[in-house]
Amino acid sequence: MAYEFNLMRSLIYVGLAKEEYRPKLEHWLYYHHVPESISKFSPYVTKYAFYQAYPTPEEGDRFGARKMQLTEHYWLVNEHLPEMANNIFCEYMPMDVLRWQGCIPDVDSATVHDNSESGDAGRAAGGGDFPPFIFSFVPINWEEDFKGRERTMEDGPNFRWQFLIKYPEECGKEEGERWFHEEVVPFLTGSVRVNRVVSSKVIVNYGAPEAQFDRVVEVWFEGPEEWHELCVNLAKTHLTKPAWAQQDEFPFLKPQHNIASVFLGDRCTSDNLRQYKGYITLR
């Protein structure tokens, strides 16, 4: 057996179909998923953290906002090699978890409640008209640094807009990369509202077949008002709609499918490997 030492970072964008499901999804995450995950991969994962999503800014939905959280891992090995296929126990991931995230139809039935799918099969759900389950692997460090490398925490807190983009078939990856570097990057870096811009290409996606994103980007603002002024208001006059556009206004990409976003702060909600102490309820 040959295990592959492969440093990677992974990003899971956790959606929320509606606020009614937030307590249910949070309960599954902290009561079931965190201890199961730690039991499984603590020997070869160095960081496992949750970042609670901030409220979605006005018009953020058309940027594919995922409203629950970002889940981040740092890996020492590639978990998806054949040598890693045999798990000692099945992950508890009822299909309701995908329903609460909006990846499958919101149907309350006995079939939906059955834990008939493994975690891996569940993560392969979604697609079509439904948002794909997003599990993207990227380099452990950012590949391209466009603006703000001198920034420190002493400069103040940051409103982080992280997003994944998938170039449309009508565009193609080469033209998509040209558009990103020649149109989007100058628009972002040229604004006084933007404090930081970094990006990397996605290495591989694990999840729904349609979730083959091409690039991850992170942009920092002072707050949601600055984001809205630039990405909604100023984009109308400063960015030209490309011929392959999937919507009329920036980001010109199909929400949830060709662009997915999370709006975050600086600190993680739970650094699970170090902080998780079980499901402790409020009295």
Average pLDDT, the chain: 92
> According to DSSP H, which parts of the chain are helical?
22-27, 34-41, 96-101, 110-113, 119-123, 173-179, 185-189, 224-228, 235-238, 272-275
Tens of pLDDT, residues 29-41: 999 999 999 999 9
Residue type for position 162: Q
Write the CB contacts of 18 (distance below 8 Å, at least 6 apart in sequence). Answer: none
**pLDDT tens track for 203-249:** 988 876 666 899 999 999 999 999 999 999 999 999 999 999 999 99
Q: Say if residue 10's pLDDT is above 50.
A: yes
Residue 262 pLDDT = 98
The bridge status of strand 144-147 relative to strand 196-201 is antiparallel
Query: What pLDDT is stored for residue 126 in this prediction?
Result: 61
Question: Any residues with CB less than 8 A from the CB of 83 and at least 6 apart, and which?
Answer: 1, 2, 3
Phi first, then psi, for residue 99 (nearest 5°) are -65, -45
This prediction's pTM? 0.93
